[in-house]
Amino acid sequence: MQRVNVVPEQLSFSPVVQGYWRLNDWNMQAQDILRFVEQGLELGITTTDHADVYGAFTEEGLFGQAMKLAPGLRDKIEIVSKCGILFPCEMQPDVQVVHYNNDRDYIIAAAERSLRELHTEYLDVLLIHRPDPLMDADAVAEAFSRLKQSGKVKHFGVSNFSAAKFALLQSRLDFPLVTNQLEISAIHTEYLFDGNLDYLQQQSVKPMAWSCLGGGGVFHDFQYKALRECAEAIGEQHNASLDQVLMAFVLALPSCPIPIIGSGNIERVRQQAAAVDIKLSRQQWFSLLEAARGYTVP
Amino acid sequence: MQRVNVVPEQLSFSPVVQGYWRLNDWNMQAQDILRFVEQGLELGITTTDHADVYGAFTEEGLFGQAMKLAPGLRDKIEIVSKCGILFPCEMQPDVQVVHYNNDRDYIIAAAERSLRELHTEYLDVLLIHRPDPLMDADAVAEAFSRLKQSGKVKHFGVSNFSAAKFALLQSRLDFPLVTNQLEISAIHTEYLFDGNLDYLQQQSVKPMAWSCLGGGGVFHDFQYKALRECAEAIGEQHNASLDQVLMAFVLALPSCPIPIIGSGNIERVRQQAAAVDIKLSRQQWFSLLEAARGYTVP
Amino acid sequence: MQRVNVVPEQLSFSPVVQGYWRLNDWNMQAQDILRFVEQGLELGITTTDHADVYGAFTEEGLFGQAMKLAPGLRDKIEIVSKCGILFPCEMQPDVQVVHYNNDRDYIIAAAERSLRELHTEYLDVLLIHRPDPLMDADAVAEAFSRLKQSGKVKHFGVSNFSAAKFALLQSRLDFPLVTNQLEISAIHTEYLFDGNLDYLQQQSVKPMAWSCLGGGGVFHDFQYKALRECAEAIGEQHNASLDQVLMAFVLALPSCPIPIIGSGNIERVRQQAAAVDIKLSRQQWFSLLEAARGYTVP
């Protein structure tokens, strides 16, 4: 698989990213996780996606146990993590309300906690997890600058941001935000039409795409019957699975989204990763869009 | 009628444009079309609007038959055409799905087909017909540059684009997009409020306006009764028809839209074109908006 | 109270602004108004907000009667006023339709009328009251430039504008627009999410905020029960009133809105102004947002 240039000469990602959102549900011990990471590497998947908040603030720690077992692993992978969401859970006994925190010192402390949990000395990329109406762009910029200067974080980005909020934060930085991690799928096409992906294409910023399969619903919910049937028919033409067709839908976008694979099953990961070789025709792509939305383009 | 400066010292349009969207429904032979064009010229209407897709990919050919009859005609008119929409029809036997294509080679081939169909050696303006979620701005820019260098197309623009998508494409070009052809009428006022016309005014780009009369509905549908009555009352004050008042509503906008007239009846064309001399007062304009929307401005 | 820097070294406002929208309902004579202004000054409130249209074009005149009584008052206050709205009322016998006028000469005449009514030789700030689909940015820019050159108006801004319309008008000016007066409250959070406040933060333009308490409804309407109860519980923690908590919600925003107080009761003004000292925690702020919207942030 050909790697994706995220920052020219500074940062590249594998063409799909392994997500660890649901790591806690996979019933894996540290040894199992390590083996899963290594199997991914054999497939060419080097980039891993985390967040402090995943697994109710326990996912990074779990992954870190695997990192501890293989000191040489760090140089073979890229680690993306996120901060800023807080919600009531065991690890956050003082939190009563779902909320965001993107204060300068909070971001720095959150990044440092991620380093400890993940047993690493640096993050490749740190993202602000959610657009925060209380985000003071200068405060975030100062946190980012300090983390960069200290070498604790190499690059920075955002997640679920609008173009306006991306532009705001970028305006305060003297280095480029490297990604905006967005929900993009055949059943979540909002960003294809509201200017967000246009803006990223204009800035040559490559989005990461989460939930490319649209959550499990596409596979069995009645409301997605038309999309499912359309994707299956297209799959037959490419000798491809439903997963692969849905991934290929996202990969076809000219903003070049980098899909995050959420599965912990290496066979499913292998299958989804293989979608990078599927080139949907324009007619196939638009027939998926039509099946998903229920109407043709004008 | 005073001509409209579209690109200073390079391109001007007549203040209204003759649209040939429905040419196929007018039951005209080449000789009739030629006569219709010439009658338009007598009114000062020199700019003609086409698209490859009009008449299910036959409109340009029909118009071209008229062009063939009068070799001197080409220098007296401006030809605007569009490409990028494909849909199942006799002329496109391989198309099963309504879709867009704005690949580099497709655009070039489409423009060349338009030249052949229209019996002309150049288009004054070529527009991307619809905002395409698969539009690779670099690919479009390369197609435009090649068509410009070869002299086959003088100027370029878009149609139905958002401000974000316009800005994306413009960012890849070293010459300005000259227009964005948008649906604008008293019953389609969305672009007046969503920033699209603000953006065009800021960039000094003059929109072309399609469906300024809002489709035939305004003339008889019950739901437009209030607008119709309001427009008729205003018409009495200006000694103007309902058509003219609706055209004047669009012509009053500060982004200076250039209306496209859709009629193939020269008397109706004459009437609508005369709307350029009607200056609605602000009270008249806002009373039309209020009648169309059912509520006053705040 | 620490003053707010609106234009560095040129213009500062008190951290809350006294609004005179409803001056006509307060049953005050000139002497009462003067006393009310002076009581505000004792609280540190120097900035006053007006509009030609308030009180059906009579508010400025009423306020001006108080100005006449105290010739030294002008130097102690800032006067913000607005123009552009017209509606049928006794003072506008020729107006039949609610509409806007932002023609060059109209703006100049409106500003001059405000000067006469307010008994002052200059406005500190003049705002275009509403985004006007007929706004010709060049015409507004010329009006602003003339008013600035003549010394009649020191600074200019807008009210209720989208980011796109703000950018349009700014593009025609060689001096910065100093504010955008927007409706912002716990029950009107649209601008927190649509990019408008992001844009203003990016441009370092401080919004003024109107209707921060969300109209009287929050205080008794059943639909705001959850917000009211949440605000009251937070109020207990700060020893603060419902008004103060709602004001603090707006003051917490990183775009630094300057709230306009609408009350003519000096005790209520004192109470609301004291909200500038209340710092809501992030958990408190997000619990208000959640109570107002009925769902948590994602």
Interface test with C, best of B182, B196, B198, B284 (most C CBs within 10 A): B198
Verify whether the Cβ–Cβ distance A133 to C163 is below 8 Å: no
Q: How far is CA B111 from CA B134, B146, C293, in A?
A: 19, 11, 51
Q: pLDDT digits over B160-191, tens only?
A: 999 999 999 999 999 999 999 999 999 999 99
Ramachandran angles phi, psi of B137, nearest 5°: -60, -35
Exposure b/e, C37-54, CB count within 10 A at least 16 = b: beebeebebbbbbbbbbb
Give the percent of chain C with pLDDT over 70.
100
Q: pLDDT digits over C98-118, tens only?
A: 999 999 999 999 999 999 999
Closest by CA to B169, choosing from B130, B134, B137, is B137
Verify whether the Cβ–Cβ distance C192 to A133 is below 8 Å: yes
From the list C95, C130, C167, which residue is nearest B202 (CB)?
C167
Q: pLDDT digits over C144-199, tens only?
A: 999 999 999 999 999 999 999 999 999 999 999 999 999 999 999 999 999 999 99
Interface test with B, best of C98, C135, C182 (most B CBs within 10 A): C98
Verify whether the Cβ–Cβ distance B195 to C134 is below 8 Å: no
Q: How far is CA A152 from CA A12, A108, B231, C246, in A?
A: 18, 9, 66, 39
Q: What angle do CA A4, A9, A14 make, to 5 degrees?
A: 20
Give the pLDDT band (50/70/90) at residue B150. Answer: very high
Verify whether the Cβ–Cβ distance A99 to C283 is below 8 Å: yes
Strands A180-183, B78-83: parallel, antiparallel or unpaired by DSSP?
A: unpaired
Displacement of CA A270 from its chain's centroid (Å): 17
Beta-carbon contacts below 8 Å between B and C: 64
From the list C96, C99, C168, which residue is nearest B198 (CB)?
C168
Q: pLDDT digits over A133-150, tens only?
A: 999 999 999 999 999 999
Interface test with C, best of A97, A130, A162, A171 (most C CBs within 10 A): A97
Q: Do the beta carbons of residue B147 and residue B116 sit within 8 Å?
A: no
Residue numbers in A near B97 (CB within 8 A):
283, 286-287, 290, 296
- Name the average pLDDT for chain C: 97
Residue type for position A190: E
Verify whether the Cβ–Cβ distance C167 to B287 is below 8 Å: no
The nearest CA of chain B is from the CA of C173 a distance in Å of: 12
From the list A163, A197, A286, which residue is nearest B99 (CB)?
A286
The nearest CA of chain A is from the CA of C200 a distance in Å of: 9
Residue of B nearest to A200 (CA): B168
Residue C16 has pLDDT above 80, yes or no: yes
Q: Is A271 exposed, middle or buried (0-12, 13-18, 19+ CB in 10 A)?
A: middle
- Alpha carbons B74 and B7: distance in angstroms, whole number: 19
Residue with tokens 């590497």: A41
Query: What's the mean pLDDT in C216-231?
Result: 93
Residue with tokens 């509201």: A194
Verify whether the Cβ–Cβ distance C98 to B296 is below 8 Å: yes
Q: Is A223 exposed, middle or buried (0-12, 13-18, 19+ CB in 10 A)?
A: exposed
Residue numbers in C near B252 (CB within 8 A):
134
- Which chain C residues have any C-beta within 8 angstroms of a chain B C-beta? 87, 95-101, 103, 130-131, 133-137, 160, 162-165, 167-168, 171
From the list A95, A99, A168, which residue is nearest C201 (CB)?
A168
Residue B140 has pLDDT above 90, yes or no: yes
Closest by CA to A182, choosing from A169, A168, A195, is A195
Q: pLDDT digits over A243-292, tens only?
A: 999 999 999 999 999 999 999 999 999 999 999 999 999 999 999 999 99
Residue numbers in C near B297 (CB within 8 A):
98-100, 130
Q: Do the beta carbons of residue B246 and residue B197 sit within 8 Å?
A: no
Architecture of domain C4-178: Alpha-Beta Barrel (3.20)
Q: Do the beta carbons of residue C153 and residue C123 sit within 8 Å?
A: yes
Residue with tokens 């209380």: A134
Verify whether the Cβ–Cβ distance B164 to A199 is below 8 Å: yes
Residues 6 or more apart in contact with residue A208 via CB below 8 angstroms: A17, A49, A80, A159, A179, A180, A181, A182, A257, A258, A259, A260
Verify whether the Cβ–Cβ distance C193 to A133 is below 8 Å: yes
Residue C1 has pLDDT above 80, yes or no: no
Verify whether the Cβ–Cβ distance A252 to B134 is below 8 Å: yes
Beta-carbon contacts below 8 Å between A and C: 63
Verify whether the Cβ–Cβ distance C98 to B282 is below 8 Å: no
Exposure b/e, C150-184, CB count within 10 A at least 16 = b: eebbbbbbbbbbbbbbbbbbbebeeeebbbbbbbb
Residue numbers in A near B139 (CB within 8 A):
254
Q: How high is the pLDDT of residue A114? A: 98
Positions of C marked catalytic? 54
Verify whether the Cβ–Cβ distance C133 to B253 is below 8 Å: yes
Q: Which chains does C contact via 3+ CB–CB distances below 8 A?
A: A, B
Q: pLDDT digits over B64-90, tens only?
A: 999 999 989 999 999 999 999 999 999
Q: How high is the pLDDT of residue B216? A: 80
Positions of B marked catalytic? 54
Instruction: Quickly list DSSP for A185-222.
Output: BTTB-HHHHSSHHHHHHHHTPPPEEE-TT-STHHHH-G
The nearest CA of chain C is from the CA of B25 a distance in Å of: 35
From the list A192, A252, A286, which residue is nearest B97 (CB)?
A286
- Name the average pLDDT for chain A: 97
Give the percent of chain A with pLDDT over 70.
100
Q: How far is CA B104 from CA A189, B126, B141, B144, B166, in A?
A: 24, 14, 8, 8, 17
Verify whether the Cβ–Cβ distance B298 to C135 is below 8 Å: no
Residue type for position C20: Y
Q: Do the beta carbons of residue B146 and residue B111 sit within 8 Å?
A: no
Residue with tokens 């300057």: C258
Residue A215 has pLDDT above 90, yes or no: no
Verify whether the Cβ–Cβ distance A195 to B97 is below 8 Å: no
Q: How high is the pLDDT of residue B217? A: 86
Verify whether the Cβ–Cβ distance A287 to B168 is below 8 Å: no
Q: How high is the pLDDT of residue B46? A: 98
Residue of B nearest to A251 (CA): B134
Residue numbers in A near B98 (CB within 8 A):
286, 290, 296-297
Interface test with C, best of A83, A95, A168, A182 (most C CBs within 10 A): A168
Positions of A marked catalytic? 54
From the list A199, A201, A290, which residue is nearest B97 (CB)?
A290
- Alpha carbons B262 and B64: distance in angstroms, whole number: 18
Q: Which long-range contacts (CB under 8 A, 24 or more apart) does C213-221 make?
A: C213/C185, C213/C243, C213/C246, C213/C247, C213/C262, C214/C185, C214/C186, C214/C187, C214/C188, C214/C246, C217/C187, C218/C185, C218/C186, C218/C187, C218/C242, C218/C246
Residue numbers in B near A290 (CB within 8 A):
97-98
Q: pLDDT digits over A183-197, tens only?
A: 999 999 999 999 999
Helix (H, G, I), strand (E, B) or coil at C176: coil
The nearest CA of chain B is from the CA of C137 a distance in Å of: 8
Q: How high is the pLDDT of residue A217? A: 86
Polymer length of chain B? 298
Give the percent of chain B with pLDDT over 70.
100
Query: What's the mean pLDDT in B280-298?
Result: 98
Query: What's the mean pLDDT in C281-294?
Result: 98
Q: pLDDT digits over A231-255, tens only?
A: 999 999 999 999 999 999 999 999 9
Q: What angle do CA C134, B282, C64 make, to 5 degrees?
A: 90
Q: pLDDT digits over B244-282, tens only?
A: 999 999 999 999 999 999 999 999 999 999 999 999 999
Structure tokens at C91: 């003072």
- Alpha carbons A55 and A63: distance in angstroms, whole number: 11
Helix (H, G, I), strand (E, B) or coil at C49: strand
Q: pLDDT digits over A70-100, tens only?
A: 989 999 999 999 999 999 999 999 999 999 9
Instruction: Give the gyration radius of chain A's Cα atoms.
Output: 19
Q: What angle do CA C12, C15, C21 make, to 5 degrees?
A: 95
Q: Give CATH for domain B19-178.
A: 3.20.20.100
- Alpha carbons C290 and C227: distance in angstroms, whole number: 8
In sequence order, what E strands does C114-232 have?
A: 123-128, 153-159, 180-183, 208-210
Closest by CA to B141, choosing from B117, B149, A197, B50, is B149
Query: What's the mean pLDDT in B16-34?
Result: 98
The nearest CA of chain A is from the CA of B206 a distance in Å of: 21
Q: Do the beta carbons of residue C210 and residue C185 sit within 8 Å?
A: no
Q: Report CA torsion sign: A104, A108, A111, A113.
A: negative
Q: Is C279 exposed, middle or buried (0-12, 13-18, 19+ CB in 10 A)?
A: exposed
